[in-house]
Amino acid sequence: MAGELNVTIVGNLADDPELRYTQGGVAVVSVRVGSTPRTFNRQTNAWEDGETVWVRCTAWRELAENVAQSLTKGTRVIVTGRLKAPSAYQSAAGEARASLELDIDEIGGSLRYATASITRRAREGGAVAETPWGDSGAAKAPKAADDWANPGAAAGADDTPF
């Protein structure tokens, strides 16, 4: 939709993902991501933490189930999505507060301080492919009729195709 603000956040999960299902059976997961900026103070020669920004992130359907199965509290993540308008509320102490919310498009563990192993999920009614890229591992035969789709598969001609 036009006018949406797409952002990327790098931070840690505050809690384990909370997976729920709507009455229609659609999976939805909520996670809180905390991101703390760090700056270097030249006077003290030390790094200083700024104020943590908390963002409530929501994912739907298959992505929601993958998040719930893959991520846990404390995991450093990279989240990309559409930022929603902040919602205002009052805390239990009566303080006025605002909450940032993000609809997740993509989320994954950060590899800056960790390693990961990716496992492709089988789609409903289908089998898991032998490689992560969805092919059987064998090279596919190029289409002979479409030289633009396969420019390196010309039939022995050294001439430029244009």
pLDDT of residue 134: 56
Q: State residue 128's pLDDT score.
A: 52
What does the pLDDT read at residue 126?
54
- What does the longest C-alpha to C-alpha distance in the chain come to? 78
Inside any domain, residue 45: yes
pTM of structure: 0.64
Domain for residue 96, yes or no? yes
R_g over Cα of the chain: 23
Residue 58 to residue 124: CA distance in whole angstroms: 23
Q: What local confidence, expressed as pLDDT, does residue 10 receive? A: 92
Q: Domain range holding 11?
A: 5-119
Question: 86 vs 24, 27, 42, 74, 157, CA distance in Å?
Answer: 27, 24, 35, 24, 61
pLDDT score for 123: 66
Counted domains in the chain:
1
* Domain CATH for 14: 2.40.50.140
Inside any domain, residue 135:
no
Nearest-angstrom CA–CA distance, 10 and 152: 40
How many other β-carbons are positioned within 10 Å of the β-carbon of residue 7?
13
Residues of the chain with pLDDT under 70: 1-2, 123-162
49-74 pLDDT, tens per residue?
A: 888 888 899 999 999 998 888 888 98
